[in-house]
Amino acid sequence: MMKWLITLVLALLVLGLLTPWLNRLGLGRLPGDVQIRHKRGVFYFPFASVILMSLALTLLVHLFGR
């Protein structure tokens, strides 16, 4: 259980650090990403970006994993 928690925290840290670089590549502004502006703040749901990243990581794992 602790290994999964540490892995999750490290993955979130890496994604947080890579966010500005990924935004320059257009990730986060795809047609399926939803951004709702409200007077209390901005809610952002990157549906298309998450699906694209999942497909890319799955492909990398299948190519280089074994």
Structural domain boundaries in the chain: 2-64
User: How many CB atoms lie under 10 A from the CB of residue 53?
Assistant: 14
What's the pTM? Answer: 0.66
Task: With CA atoms as reference, report the closest residue to 46 among 55, 36, 56.
Answer: 36
pLDDT band, residue 66 (cuts 50/70/90): low
Q: Is the pLDDT of residue 21 over 80?
A: yes
36-49 mean pLDDT: 90
Mean confidence (pLDDT) of the chain: 87
Tell me how far apart the alpha carbons of residues 34 and 39 are, in angstroms, rounded to a whole number. Answer: 17
Asked if 57 and 27 touch (Cβ cutoff 8 Å), the reply is no
Please report where in the chains the tokens 């703040």 appear, as a residue: 41
pLDDT band, residue 18 (cuts 50/70/90): confident
